[in-house]
Structure 1
């Protein structure tokens, strides 16, 4: 992930509350939502490949996944930071998601955030 591609957030990406700490504004999630996302990542990712789960967690930590509609549809940043995709736990518009043979890490990130 490209660190320059992410932005500073003033509201939590999960619950919408105002973020006050520097760490929270950098990640986009407040401390309570961060704990919930980490707990969801630990419990809901057993069926996915560990390398993809790690990339999904990195995407979440860097604030590269932004909800569009009530934690069902998200905008995600590509790994090179040049483009964005729309994703949900069921589908993704990235090249790997369009082929549909494997679950991309964008979908895993959406699954984790939606489950939190």
Structure 2
């Protein structure tokens, strides 16, 4: 639930659905003995869990960085200014985290597979 409108509600709703789906996928993987797959799902869950931390870091940062726009763009309307920043933050608090996790996993897989092939040669 968010009072910042449909955009914010959609951002948080998708975050919740993905977090639960990734956690279930990780649980299923570990139950099947697929520990490497489980580890990857848990990296994704961790990235999504950090959304709360990222949100709290970005709120004051973006509010201050975009302060020069308060008068010219928002006509001094502080509530509209904050709502629009918050709507963006509902996505910015988790999407970059997930992208970073996928980048890490891709890099980790490449490093692991190159070690595997070079040690078997």
TM-score, length-scaled by structure 1? 0.29
Structure with larger Rg:
2
Between Structure 1 and Structure 2, the one with more helix by share is 2
TM-score, length-scaled by structure 2? 0.28
Between Structure 1 and Structure 2, the one with more strand by share is 1
Pick 1 or 2: higher relative contact order, CA cutoff 8 A, min separation 6: 2
